[in-house]
Structure 1
Amino acid sequence: MKDSLFIRAAFSQPTERPPVWMMRQAGRFMKEYWDIKNKYSFLEMCKTPEIAADVTMLPVDLLGIDAAILFSDILVTAEAMGGELSFTQGVGPKFANPVRNESDIDALQTDVADKLQYVADAIQVIQQRLNGAIPLIGFAGAPFTVLSYLIEGGSSKDFKLTKLFLNNQPELAHKLLKKIADVTVTYLNMQIKAGVNALQLFDSWALALSWDDYSEFSHQYNAGIIAQLDRKDIPVISFCKGSSVFAPLMAEAKPDVISVDWNADLKQIKNNLPKGIAVQGNLDPFILYADKAVIKKKILHLFERMRGEEGFIFNLGHGIMPDIPFDNVKYAIDVVKEFRY
């Protein structure tokens, strides 16, 4: 995989064009996804290796992307630890037993590798299907983001309970973060052993935090995880909503790639990062609702801005929304693949 466009870009080596993959590329904007989803629950899809492989392969077969990403969820670690997780259509993830106190934290287990074996099994099935054509990206949720779901009991607009927990009970917050971080290291190393070619750490809700709180409750744990990965030849991507603000701190964790949200000027971020850290992004996903001429213009503008920069992976600033037209996503990928520096 060292010669793949994606791996070369992730390691800041020259490429003839930017590689392309998209967060949530195997998802609800595809009719074929719903053909599978209508037969199984979301967790059944994640936990059945053959089905997870089927979904992972959809954008490979239908979109022609340059890297596949494992079909799973950032909350499988929290569920393995003892979170009673369910997914409801239109509502999202819910934990029936949210964390409220120290005894709730003590009840969470950390020796959970066996409970996550289905992910390693899925990786092996997917790699058989990919047969070396393109790299496979594995991933995990970052400790702060997973903590926020455990405390809120699900998604949140304002993270009020989470912030109260961090402010009023910081020692307990650190106790919980440490547990999640330990599980995450084991989980990601298990994915490497199973055969992934790259990893992404998703800190989806870091933008809820102030600079100081991000440093204390997110960054130090992400840095600790990255430092403990068996990452020889395996590029590590660090993503958060808020990367346009937190990129200097994210760089201190020594990832190979920082995935940037759409608020920032990507070239400016890249030029302010240490040499050898690539960038990924950062098209506003809402552009994919627009006319095709607009989509092409915006992508080519980004490419001209990044011309001459080694270490650039094209992606969105966040994931594809469910109602974006499939044809627009396919068109965007075709525009990228036709481009040459």
Structure 2
Amino acid sequence: MKDSLFIKAALSQPTERPPVWMMRQAGRFMPQYWEIKNKYSFLEMCKTPEIAADVTMLPVDLLDIDAAILFSDILVTGEAMGGDLSFTQGVGPKFANPVRTKADVDNLQVDVLDRLQYVADAIKVIQQRLNGRIPLIGFAGAPFTVMSYLVEGGSSRDFKLTKLMLHNQPELAHQLLSKIAQVTADYLNLQIEAGVNAVQIFDSWAQALAWDDYKEFSHNYIAQIISKLNRKDIPVISFCKGSSVFAPLMAEAKPDVVSIDWNVDLLDMKQRLPQGIAVQGNLDPHILYADKSVIKERIHRLFNRMKDEQGYIFNLGHGIMPDIPFDNVKYAVEVIKEYRY
């Protein structure tokens, strides 16, 4: 994989063009995804290695992107620890047994890798199918984001219960976060051992936190996780919603790549980060709804801005929305692959 554009860019080595992959690239904007989804529940798709491999391969075969990402979910760690997880169409994830008390936290298990073996099995199937064509990215949810789902019992607009725990019961919050962090480090190392070529940590709800709270209840745990990874030749990407604010702090956890949302000038942010840390991003996903001429102009504008920088991976500032036209995503990838510095 040393010749991969994605791996080179992630390790801040020169590339002839930016490599491209997109968060949620194997998902609901693809008719082929729905052909599979209509036959199985979401968790069945995640837990059946052959099906997870089928979905992972969709953007590889249909979009010709530069890196695949494992098809799974950030909440499988929460389920493995004892969360009663379900996904409902139009509602999203739910934990039927939210974690609200010390007894709830005490009941969560940390020796759970056997319950996540299906992910390692999926990675092996995917790597057989990729056959060395492009790298495979593994991933996990960051402790604060997983905690928020466990405490709220599902998605939340205001994270009120989670923040109450942080502010009124910080010791309990730290106990919960420590357990999730331990499982997350073990889980990412399981993925590395199974054969992924890079890993990304998703802190999807970090933007809910004030700076001091982010530092204490998110950043410190991500730094812990990264320090425990068997990361030789395995780039580590750190992503959060809110990275346009938190990126300088995120870099202190020593990832190889910081993935940036669309609220900041990417070149300015890259130059504020330490030498040798690559950036990933940061096109506003809504651009992919626009006319093709707009899509091309915005991608070229971003690339022309970044052309003198080593260590740049094209991605969106967040995931592809379900109703973005597939044809527009395909066109964006073609524009990127034709570009030369």
- One-letter identity of the residue aligned with 2:100: R
Aligned runs of 1:315-326 on 2, under 5 Å? 315-326=315-326
State the match for 1:110 in structure 2: 110
State the match for 1:226 in structure 2: 226
State the match for 2:169 in structure 1: 169
State the match for 1:141 in structure 2: 141
Aligned runs of 1:292-303 on 2, under 5 Å? 292-303=292-303
- One-letter identity of the residue aligned with 1:151: V
Any stretches of 5+ residues in structure 1 without a counterpart?
Answer: none
Give a deviation string over 1:223-261, Cα, whole Å, max 9, x none.
Answer: 000000000000000000000000111000000000000
State the match for 2:57 in structure 1: 57
State the match for 1:279 in structure 2: 279
Q: Secondary structure at the match of 2:87?
A: strand
- One-letter identity of the residue aligned with 1:236: V
**What number of residue pairs does the alignment pair up?**
341
Quote the Cα distance in structure 2 between the aligned partners of 1:137 and 1:103. Answer: 36
Aligned runs of 1:175-254 on 2, under 5 Å? 175-254=175-254
Give a deviation string over 1:191-240, Cα, whole Å, max 9, x none.
Answer: 00000000000000000000000000000000000000000000000000
Quote the Cα distance in structure 1 between the aligned partners of 2:336 and 2:49. Answer: 31
State the match for 1:99 in structure 2: 99
Give a deviation string over 1:55-109, Cα, whole Å, max 9, x none.
Answer: 0000000000000000000000000000000000001000000011000001110
Give a deviation string over 1:20-72, Cα, whole Å, max 9, x none.
Answer: 00000000000000000000000000000000000000000000000000000
Quote the Cα distance in structure 2 between the aligned partners of 1:25 and 1:298. Answer: 19
Cα deviation, residue 310, structure 1:
0.2
Give a deviation string over 1:146-174, Cα, whole Å, max 9, x none.
Answer: 00000010011111111111000000000
State the match for 2:22 in structure 1: 22
Quote the Cα distance in structure 2 between the aligned partners of 1:175 and 1:217. Answer: 11
Q: Secondary structure at the match of 2:247?
A: helix
Quote the Cα distance in structure 1 between the aligned partners of 2:84 and 2:225. Answer: 25
- One-letter identity of the residue aligned with 2:301: H
Quote the Cα distance in structure 2 between the aligned partners of 1:289 and 1:158. Answer: 28
State the match for 1:305 in structure 2: 305
Quote the Cα distance in structure 2 between the aligned partners of 1:2 and 1:237. Answer: 17
Q: Secondary structure at the match of 2:139?
A: strand
Cα deviation, residue 307, structure 1:
1.0
Quote the Cα distance in structure 2 between the aligned partners of 1:121 and 1:2. Answer: 24
Any stretches of 5+ residues in structure 2 without a counterpart?
Answer: none
State the match for 1:45 in structure 2: 45
- One-letter identity of the residue aligned with 1:103: A
- One-letter identity of the residue aligned with 1:54: D
Cα deviation, residue 304, structure 1:
0.6
Q: Secondary structure at the match of 2:220?
A: helix
Superposed CA RMSD in Å reads 0.3
What TM-score, normalized by structure 1, do the two folds share? 1.00
Quote the Cα distance in structure 1 between the aligned partners of 2:83 and 2:235. Answer: 30
Quote the Cα distance in structure 2 between the aligned partners of 1:168 and 1:80. Answer: 27
State the match for 1:70 in structure 2: 70
- One-letter identity of the residue aligned with 2:309: E
- One-letter identity of the residue aligned with 2:287: I
